[in-house]
Amino acid sequence: MYKLIFSAFILFMSPMLIAHLGTHGSDISIKILSAKFTNKSATISLILSNKGMESVLIESIHSNVGEVDFALNYPLEIASTNQFKFTKTLNLIVKNTQNIPQIFTLIFDFGEAGSGPVTIIPTSFQE
């Protein structure tokens, strides 16, 4: 009897299980390497890793405290199981005409896939 109930359950649930295959979002991780602050800017080095099976498209990166300068044009595609390094000449620089707060948020906009906040805390401060 249990085998019959189990078989019926599997038969009923299999279309639902298959329908959800591949529908989950990509696994994105961001590692902050450095965040060098001055009074009116923050230079941020980070590594964005796409550990998912689908490529990811970054449509923009913005902040609640100022303009984000970046050397490349959007959209920026990061292939599956790949990394993109925002380092050296490709640092993210947040500029403001007033002082940059000690803690702020960068928002990574992935278009239809949504957006994700990253809290930035200084690793060094230069006057």
Strands (E), 1-127: 28-37, 41-50, 56-58, 60-63, 67-69, 76-78, 82-86, 92-95, 104-109, 115-120, 124-125
Q: What domains lie within the chain, and their CATH numbers?
A: 28-125 (2.60.40.1890)
Q: Which two tokens stand for residue 51?
A: 């550990």
- pLDDT over 50 (residue 19): no
Residue 24 pLDDT class (50, 70, 90 cuts): low
- How far apart, in whole angstroms, are the C-alpha atoms of residue 64 and residue 72? 21
Contact 100, 42 (CB under 8 A): yes
- How far apart, in whole angstroms, are the C-alpha atoms of residue 81 and residue 19? 23
Q: What is the pLDDT of residues 36-94, one digit of tens each?
A: 999 899 999 999 998 888 888 999 999 989 999 988 888 999 888 888 888 877 889 99
The pLDDT assigned to 105 comes to 93
**Mean per-residue pLDDT over the chain, rounded:** 82
% of the chain residues with pLDDT over 70? 80
Residue whose entry in the numeric block shows the structure tokens 């550990």: 51
